[in-house]
């Protein structure tokens, strides 16, 4: 098939897209028929021709020249290859990264490969193999210049929100020139006959290739390969194909645009759209020139139709519209979080060998991304999240959310108290208490202060007799095991009692009583048991502790709690009275410990004990250590310290980041 006679394939539906001659020297060569052995003897063959897939390898230029593949494994080689694309007004663009990129924090694991393409060459910059820890160490200067040059258009599908977003977030680049292929596709496909369908709604690359370039795009298992290792031949062909498809689609569809009468201007770059909420049914903005734009609605004189209202019966659009509207209500932050949650969902699905939707549906995942719960109670408050979903995958969602907010420096808002009161007839008895806690948190600016006493958080003092007294109302809780407290010691005082790092043996953890702070055990316990002491002693201590407690005080009042305290009060009671800021910090530390655990042993059993107990997490929140010596003095911290040392993680740096010093 000669390039001068090559004609762009027209759409197959009722919309008549203008025909245009193929604008490039490189074109797909016709498939050469091979005579079968039967045909060579004069017999006809009814065997169907083998299926043909679209590929950059089908294109030939003048002199039967193939498309060059420039594969770079080093930064120096990337610089040489990138200089060959500086004068190009438009390039095909794509990126690849490992599907489990959340497992490692290094930049090479966030983006493994950058692909750019023109008519006669495709460059693959394998930055996942470039050494270094910063963007300057990994990205070649000329490649950075190309990415940030608005005069060089980068063509692809969802380039702005997928590829450019990663370059900005992880590499701190300012990429510009995003040419959304979907906009040009809808302009030339629907503009001549159905302009009401011209909108910013995305169209998959495979659909565009098959319709505009005439052959289906092959997508095999190689797309989920490990991009952090040198590429195989199949990986090179796959990676090169997507970038080349973007370039060829642009030249093909732009030729059709120029053949339209009247000829519409080109769509503007994706990053030039106004910020804020947008709908997939919004019209496309066209670049008139001199910074002036016009909408396709104004150009064609037809308002875009809403999704689901064309060619369907009256009952279907209601369901479709509800789903689409919910998906579009995500802001940029929620959308980024949704992508992180979707990545974790894919990992869980692969581990359990089930489809991703069996883990959690898209609608529920969007609701979780929108609500951004920071604890189990807030997660259960999300509509559609039941106890079964929470029990199976709740910890995974909370871990992803905590790490996402921490990475982006976002303070998690308290949303639990906002979401529950929507159904007053089904409120649990403790709901008013949670609302009250939220109101007190809004008034008080101290991280761990009590509105009643302006000191330590509310606690239930317990005398050595085993009798506990509440401040608001006196109550008696007799500990049946109080006589055994002399023989019991803290499970964190001996090194052999620490949870094992093999993640297999059960941990010997002390069960906390749920009371946060108690006085030290009296040396004359037998006399105290016979003659209960009056209450003024803890009140005197409370009155004298108006200042923030020191590290020694925080450790003393927490670590001396009797090991034989009643197990009927769950540990959650102790952490529940923390201030909102402290609860968020505690969740971040818990997520951090799980991340360290995954680094040490990705195949750790789900039922294995944690490397840091809830009691130790509370000690860290109380003590707020700022130096290594104070951190190492916290009981129960040894296992976490050892795990961080083995995984190459700075524990003190993260503790200081998550738990700032007292003001």
DSSP string computed for 276-288 = S---TTSPPEEEE
d(CA 540, CA 537): 5
State residue 543's pLDDT score: 39
Average pLDDT (329-358) is 82
The residue extents of the domains of the chain are 56-264, 330-424, 484-523+545-663
Q: Residue 402: its pLDDT value, please?
A: 84
Give the mean model confidence (pLDDT) for residues 96-125. Answer: 91
Higher pLDDT, 598 or 201: 201
Question: For the domain 330-424, what is the CATH code?
Answer: 1.10.150.80
Percent of the chain with pLDDT over 90: 32
Given a cut of 50, whether residue 570 has pLDDT beyond it is: no
Mean pLDDT computed over every residue of the chain: 73
Cα dihedral 54, 57, 62, 65 in deg (nearest 10)? 180
Residues 432-453: tens digit of each pLDDT: 444 444 444 444 444 444 333 3
pLDDT above 80 for 568: no
- Residue 41 pLDDT: 56
| Predicted local distance difference test score (pLDDT) of residue 618 | 87
- pLDDT for 144 equals 97
Average pLDDT score over residue span 591-616: 79
- The token pair that represents 599 in the structure block: 């680094």
Q: Quickly tell me which residue has 């079964």 as its tokens.
A: 388
User: Where does the pLDDT of residue 350 fall: very low under 50, low under 70, confident under 90, or very high at 90 and above?
Assistant: confident
Which residue is it, tokens 């060619």? 311
Split at pLDDT 50, 70, 90, the class of 141 is very high
Residue with tokens 């060998």: 353
Each residue of 50-107: pLDDT tens digit?
A: 778 999 999 999 999 999 999 999 999 999 999 999 999 999 999 998 877 888 889 9
Provide the token pair at 457. Answer: 């958080």
Q: Residue 472: what pLDDT?
A: 43
Question: What values do phi and psi take at 255, rounded to 5?
Answer: -65, -40
The SS3 call for residue 142 is helix
**Confidence band of 412 (pLDDT split at 50, 70, 90):** low
The CATH number of the structural domain formed by 56-264 is: 3.30.420.10
The pLDDT score that the predictor gives to residue 166 is 94
Q: Is a pLDDT exceeding 60 seen at residue 632?
A: yes
């Amino acid at each position: 098939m000669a390039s001068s006679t090559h004609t762009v394939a027209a759409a197959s539906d009722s919309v008549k897209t203008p025909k245009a001659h193929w604008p490039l020297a490189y074109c797909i060569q016709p498939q050469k028929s091979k005579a079968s052995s039967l045909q060579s003897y004069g017999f006809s063959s009814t065997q169907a021709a083998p299926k043909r897939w679209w590929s950059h390898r089908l294109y030939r230029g003048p002199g039967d020249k193939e498309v060059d593949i420039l594969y770079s494994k080093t930064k120096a080689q990337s610089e040489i290859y990138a200089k060959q694309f500086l004068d190009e007004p438009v390039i095909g663009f794509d990126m690849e990264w490992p599907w489990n990129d959340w497992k490692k924090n290094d930049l090479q694991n966030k983006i493994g490969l950058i692909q750019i393409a023109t008519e006669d060459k495709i460059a693959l910059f394998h930055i996942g193999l470039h050494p270094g820890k910063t963007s300057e160490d990994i990205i070649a200067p000329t490649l950075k210049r190309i990415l940030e040059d608005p005069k060089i258009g980068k063509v692809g599908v969802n380039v702005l929100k997928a590829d450019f977003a990663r370059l900005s977030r992880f590499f701190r680049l300012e990429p510009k020139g995003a040419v959304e292929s979907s906009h040009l596709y809808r302009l030339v496909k629907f503009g001549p006959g159905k302009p009401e369908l011209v909108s910013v709604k995305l169209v998959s690359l495979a659909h565009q290739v098959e319709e505009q370039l005439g052959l289906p795009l092959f997508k095999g298992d190689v797309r989920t390969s490990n991009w952090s290792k040198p590429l195989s031949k199949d990986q090179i062909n796959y990676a090169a194909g997507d970038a080349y498809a973007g370039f060829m689609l642009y030249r093909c569809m732009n030729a059709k645009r120029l053949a339209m009468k009247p000829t519409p201007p080109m769509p503007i770059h994706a990053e030039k759209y106004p910020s804020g909420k947008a709908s997939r049914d919004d019209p496309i903005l066209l670049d008139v020139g001199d910074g002036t734009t016009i909408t396709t609605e104004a150009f064609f004189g037809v308002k875009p139709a809403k999704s689901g209202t064309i060619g369907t019966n009256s009952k279907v659009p209601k369901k479709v519209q509800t789903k689409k509207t919910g998906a579009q209500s995500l802001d940029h932050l929620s959308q980024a979080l949704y992508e992180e949650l979707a990545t974790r969902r894919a990992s869980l699905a692969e581990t359990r060998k089930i489809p991703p939707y069996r883990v959690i549906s898209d609608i529920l995942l969007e609701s979780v991304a929108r609500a951004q719960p920071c604890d189990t109670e807030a997660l259960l408050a999300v509509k559609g999240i039941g106890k079964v979903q929470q029990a199976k995958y709740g910890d995974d969602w909370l871990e992803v959310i905590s790490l996402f907010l921490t990475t982006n420096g976002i303070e998690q808002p308290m949303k639990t108290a906002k979401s529950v009161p929507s159904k007053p007839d089904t409120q649990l008895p403790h709901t008013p208490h949670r609302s009250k806690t939220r109101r007190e948190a809004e008034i008080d600016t101290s991280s761990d202060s009590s509105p009643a006493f302006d000191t330590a958080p509310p606690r239930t003092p317990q005398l050595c007799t085993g009798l506990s007294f509440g401040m608001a109302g006196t109550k008696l809780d007799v500990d049946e095991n109080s006589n055994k407290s002399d023989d019991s010691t803290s499970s964190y005082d001996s090194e052999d009692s620490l949870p094992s790092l093999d993640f297999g043996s059960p941990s010997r953890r002390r069960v906390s009583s749920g009371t946060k702070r108690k006085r030290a055990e009296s040396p004359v316990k037998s006399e105290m048991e016979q003659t209960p002491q009056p209450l003024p002693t803890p009140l005197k201590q409370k009155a004298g502790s108006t200042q923030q407690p020191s590290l020694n005080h925080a450790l003393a009042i927490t670590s001396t709690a009797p090991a034989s305290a009643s197990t009927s009060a769950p540990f959650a009671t102790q952490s529940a009275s923390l201030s909102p800021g402290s609860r968020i910090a505690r969740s971040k530390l818990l997520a951090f410990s799980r991340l360290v655990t995954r680094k040490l042993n990705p195949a750790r059993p789900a039922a294995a004990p944690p490397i840091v107990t809830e009691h130790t997490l509370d000690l860290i929140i109380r003590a707020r250590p700022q130096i290594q010596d104070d951190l190492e003095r916290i009981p129960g911290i040894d296992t976490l310290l050892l795990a961080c040392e083995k995984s190459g993680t700075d524990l003190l740096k993260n503790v200081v980041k998550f738990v700032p010093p007292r003001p």
